Amino acid sequence: MRQLLVFIHLAGVIVWVGGMVFAHFFLRPVATDLLPPLQRLPLMAGVLGRFFAAVALAIAAIIASGLMLMLDNGFAGAPWHWHFMLSNGLLMTVIFMIIYGIRYPRLKQAVAAADWPAGGAAMSGIRQLVVINLLLGTLTIAVALLGPLTS
């Protein structure tokens, strides 16, 4: 059972953090270079809508599997790096909720109204928060892998 929970946990992390890497470093720059806003912003809104739905499921899987693994050890008996992962994961979740609940609807509204300056501003706001989550996610992965070396 433990291996299945670890697999679910890692699969969720791969979808979330890997998706942010792909969107930020590969999709966005090429879309920006090749497409004008009237094509780029609807593309990004559509891609992000699909990605954010997958991230919401990934977050549920990460939190559920992580808590189940932690409960197995007991919170007090869990190593420090598990507590760090939980704290950072919850912070990343709050940031994702801001992206998905506030910034992304602004992007969709701007695209629907063909308001490209507002769409660009919304996309910029999403991008800034994704960078923060990408940094937090990378730090969390590093602590998850290196934390046992310090225990």
pLDDT at 138: 97
pTM over 0.85: yes
Mean pLDDT score, 38-58 = 98
CA distance readout (Å), 120 to 60, 68, 108, 131: 30, 40, 11, 16
Q: Compute the distance between CA of residue 116 and CA of residue 29 in angstroms, rounded to an integer.
A: 17
Q: Is 5 helix (H, G, I), strand (E, B) or coil?
A: helix
CA distance readout (Å), 7 to 4, 13, 60: 5, 10, 14
Q: Compute the distance between CA of residue 62 and CA of residue 58 in angstroms, rounded to an integer.
A: 6
Tell me, what DSSP letter sits at residue 75? T
User: What residues contact residue 65 under an 8 Å CB cut-off, 6+ apart?
Assistant: 5, 6, 8, 9, 12
| Per-residue pLDDT tens digits for 55-104 | 999 999 999 999 999 998 788 888 888 999 999 999 999 999 999 999 99
